Structure 1
């Protein structure tokens, strides 16, 4: 922690205590607020008050392995700016600096992706500042336990779904405190991409999450990976049981990769070895999930969708392995089939089931409209449109054939539509659509 000089600050007075925030570039950002604490493989314990009014020097992240693929996809990670923290219950609140104090702003809660294994809520590539200023909303970015610490369990000593329990605690904190930041705790939208979207879909049917949010935006959730994971998870759990006594968390993350599930035995789902586990609190059994979503259809407004070429980056830019020997025609077919099975068909089933329950639900798909973009609309392409931050995204291979002006032009329209949904739960037929967006109400 440090005392900052020549930096404008603001103090929020909340039921949680005084919270110091930084003013920068038109927003006020209260960074890395600890909302709970946990011991290894234990449920989070909510904090009753703020532990400190200081601002952390480094961003806390759950211990994790750096993913070379993700660094190519999104950008290099500056390790000097992050610090491994096994009890990773932190959140950041970003609010417009200038707003009407008599107005309660809609609240968007960002749940990051990363296959339940990597990432955190406070990456530069998910900085919501532009969106917050432009649309006059509040964004709360949540960090939670990942990997071995949050999403692999099987008994009382190593429970499953601990990361989901963390998120629920964060939502409890937001419900109690966000009004003090100018937010409306009766207008909370959960927003997640990839595994973050998958987590949000399951929060809709989780015990203990009732009345904590009102609508959801689910981008590129790999719902096709949620089925029949029990044997794979049990094997992975058993093979990593010896790591539970390891004192150094980073050694745990270095070691588990030797015991990852075999692709030959379990297929494509091995690309996401960590996941939510049905039949363990706070979730129902897998066979009950569709009925639970249908039963809850009147509770939440839903905006769900995907990118047309979700798997393209992984398939078409592979540097080693099977894909490097195939021609473009075959690669295109693989991209279409895998995108359909992992993302598109499961999203369609979810949406149709939800609509049959009487739910208010919109479906979207993002396409590439650029002629010279061989990757197309791949996984994560939606993120720079929402989180416009050129310096953070400039090293991304995903965007190497995409002009930044294209991101800016389409992003502003997409942010407007997403904010409209967050405010009201509806999207007007007259709202201007970006050219790459296909959108319809189910």
Structure 2
């Protein structure tokens, strides 16, 4: 195996918590963690040097608790936090020459929290059910990933981390039973926004042929560089008030300054949903020809959950109207543009409302259907009182829909609560 820290662990129904509670799951091989790149603070990532055999730290990017703990519940697994966080995990039916389709997962978390190594995002169920290879990617979040400050950080470093992870997949995934010529990126929320931006980057061209965007709030895709720079100055001022600087402050000081910047941003913008650190203007193509060249021939599946906006406290307005404005409308606009540019597009809306949940078909509710297992999602408020067997039965059907798309570019048969459409505007 190539990569720093590429230990192998056999997982399965009787092998531990990673995929516990999934029905019909054969044992799979789960690596990890593997260091795919290194980076200095506020520097672009670099691939791991040849011959670097140091074990991976297993760290995830320093971060506060998720703002969606009230919906998802807090994570049950604890991961060390640190800046040696450019790590990934690979789950495969066999590390052989099987040349299986590859699914690369970019997690959500408002560009502020989350990690591909977390048990929520274990890919064992997908790997076993679909005979595919699943890669879960850490990337830098918060100020460490998206600070924009002259002389300190250019911004968008988390996006460059994702790009480097895709390059790692191209170079190494065959050693884990995957086909580097058959890569689907899939991501939820901030991860879906990331995929939208990767579509625009010349450096990402050819690194994936299919893409799934789950509940990506494209209304928040980029912030202006002027606004990002002002937030960067607010962040630096909070550190300076404590005699600290962004380049040398400890993680606790960085996270506290990040929290204070979020408060200041809320007061400035009035937006309880928009994070203070996120992608910065400059990635989206400014002419149709460049966009068309990047996405021509791409297979894209995108969609949202019917009640996405019930997850966000403090956001005023009718959840249905807000969901349409933040998710449905901008996603449909992207779909239409993709079709005009020569991409093949499918779309969906998920209406699953778990019994006993106050949140309905909320943001993140599809995640337990695709990734993780009973142990990872135990007690998640968004699942209400729904028995795990029911969650997993619907999950098997939803995974089959996603896996059909991964293998053919066309979604598989949709389960009842999922409405799929050929084209960019579902449900109209």
TM-score (norm 1): 0.84
Equivalent residue number for residue 92 of structure 1:
89
Change (3 A) 1:227 1:18: closer
Deviates more, 1:200-209 or 1:222-231: 222-231
Change (3 A) 1:39 1:142: same
Deviates more, 1:412-421 or 1:17-26: 17-26
Residue in structure 1 matching 2:122, options 112, 127, 136: 127
Where structure 2 has 5 or more consecutive residues not aligned to the other structure, the ranges are 13-26, 424-428
Equivalent residue number for residue 17 of structure 2:
none
Contact 1:220 1:307 in 2 (8 A): yes
Contact 1:150 1:162 in 2 (8 A): yes
Shift of 1:89: 0.9
Shift of 1:309: 0.5
Equivalent residue number for residue 103 of structure 1:
98
Distance in 2, Cα, partners of 1:350 & 1:186? 25
* Superposed counterparts of 1:43-122, under 5 Å: 43-49=44-50, 51-52=52-53, 54=55, 59-67=58-66, 69-78=67-76, 81-97=78-94, 101-122=96-117
Deviates more, 1:248-257 or 1:215-224: 248-257
Q: Deviations over 1:212-243 (max 9, x none)?
A: 11111110111011255444322211111244
- 1:189 maps to 2:191: no
* Superposed counterparts of 1:224-263, under 5 Å: 224-226=219-221, 229-241=224-236, 242=240, 243-260=245-262, 261-263=264-266
Contact 2:202 2:294 in 1 (8 A): no
Residue in structure 2 matching 1:313, options 311, 314, 338: 311
- 1:142 maps to 2:137: yes
Equivalent residue number for residue 277 of structure 2:
274
Contact 1:76 1:395 in 2 (8 A): no
* Superposed counterparts of 1:326-365, under 5 Å: 334-365=318-349
- 1:422 maps to 2:423: no
SS of 2:50's equivalent in the other structure is coil
Change (3 A) 1:400 1:183: same
- 1:206 maps to 2:207: no
Contact 2:68 2:312 in 1 (8 A): no
Contact 2:60 2:79 in 1 (8 A): yes
Tell me the C-alpha RMSD between the 2 structures.
2.4
Where structure 1 has 5 or more consecutive residues not aligned to the other structure, the ranges are 1-11, 316-320, 324-332
Change (3 A) 1:30 1:114: same
Distance in 1, Cα, partners of 2:400 & 2:87? 28
SS of 2:304's equivalent in the other structure is strand
Shift of 1:19: 3.3
Distance in 2, Cα, partners of 1:185 & 1:169? 14
Distance in 2, Cα, partners of 1:72 & 1:60? 24
Distance in 2, Cα, partners of 1:289 & 1:238? 31
Equivalent residue number for residue 19 of structure 1:
6
Q: Deviations over 1:15-55 (max 9, x none)?
A: x5893211121111111111111111111121133643757
Q: How many correspondences in the alignment?
A: 401
Change (3 A) 1:231 1:269: farther
Equivalent residue number for residue 172 of structure 1:
167
TM-score (norm 2): 0.87
Distance in 2, Cα, partners of 1:322 & 1:379? 14
